[in-house]
Amino acid sequence: MHFAVTEPGKIIALETRLRSCRSVLTLGVRPNFSDYSPQEADMIRRAARIYYPSTFYADMFAAMGKSIFPSAHTYRFVQDKIKQSALFALLDIPHPRTRTFYGTHRQQKILSLFDFPFVGKIPRGSALGRGVYLISNEDELAQYLELTRTAYIQQYLPIDRDIRVVVIAGCVVCAYWRIADAGEFRSNLGQGGRICFDRVPDAACELALDTAIRCGWDDVGLDICCHNGRYYVIEANMKYGRQGFKTAGIDYFGMMEELIASGAI
């Protein structure tokens, strides 16, 4: 893979996502802007674009008119299942039936609308399959409700695999099956799931691409599943892992350098 290497220091990133790209200078995310050295602060101010600015700085750079990648809009949905589900509903994107419950009577409200089993998730900040629970009875529901003040309840679809589709700058760059480990309903690699490159249906990639474009997300891993012949978007992951790229033999950092050099991102 060949790519143009720009002058060191001209391409600036804050988060470590591009740390192995030789054409990118990664400065790190400092909790106070004054923690950057005067030279670093000057580079940030003068850079034509900042890559992976972090959730903290994304809106600030956008407010000052600084070009960033991913977009501030993409960062606003990072690890926030509630906002993602609301956007899917607003855009009529196929998504497992999902509702959010608040208040002291959550258990009664949930049981009036969902039959066992169903899935309960920690709605904000969870990733890698952590904070996801298959709830089969009232005791398990009570235990889940002890963990979160906001109950995020989702229809359970009896599947043993889903599809991770990574979309960057309006293009599908990687897609693969994630197959759940025996006895496990979660297909996340962090929960024992395995990667499979059997033919990924075009319909799944088309749904992921359409979702990313309509939601305004320019760097996202979308989890797609098929149930009874219909495809659904389960959730969006802006902090997706790179194991799928590695297993597929894709040089992720080389790919990103090519996208930067070409102006695609």
Strand segments, DSSP code E, in the chain are 12-13, 25-26, 49-51, 67-69, 98-101, 118-121, 132-135, 151-155, 161-168, 171-179, 194-196, 219-227, 230-237
Q: What is the mean pLDDT of residues 222-230?
A: 96
Q: Which range, of 34-38, 46-50, 187-191, 192-196, averages the lowest pLDDT?
A: 187-191
CA distance 132 to 154: 10
Averaged pLDDT for residues 143-161: 96
**251: helix, strand or coil:** coil
Residue % of the chain over a pLDDT of 70 = 95
- The end-to-end CA distance of the chain, in Å, is 18
Report yes or no: 215 and 235 within 8 Å, Cβ to Cβ: no
* Averaged pLDDT for residues 30-50: 96
Task: Show the domains of the chain with their CATH numbers.
Answer: 12-69 (no CATH), 97-155 (3.30.1490.20), 161-256 (3.30.470.20)
Instruction: Tell me the average pLDDT across 68-87.
Output: 97
Q: What's the residue count for the chain?
A: 265
Q: Is 23 helix (H, G, I), strand (E, B) or coil?
A: coil
Across residues 17-31, what is the average pLDDT? 96
> Which residue, among 171, 154, 175, has the nearest Cα to 222 in the 3D structure?
175
* Confidence band, pLDDT 50/70/90 cuts, at residue 6: very low
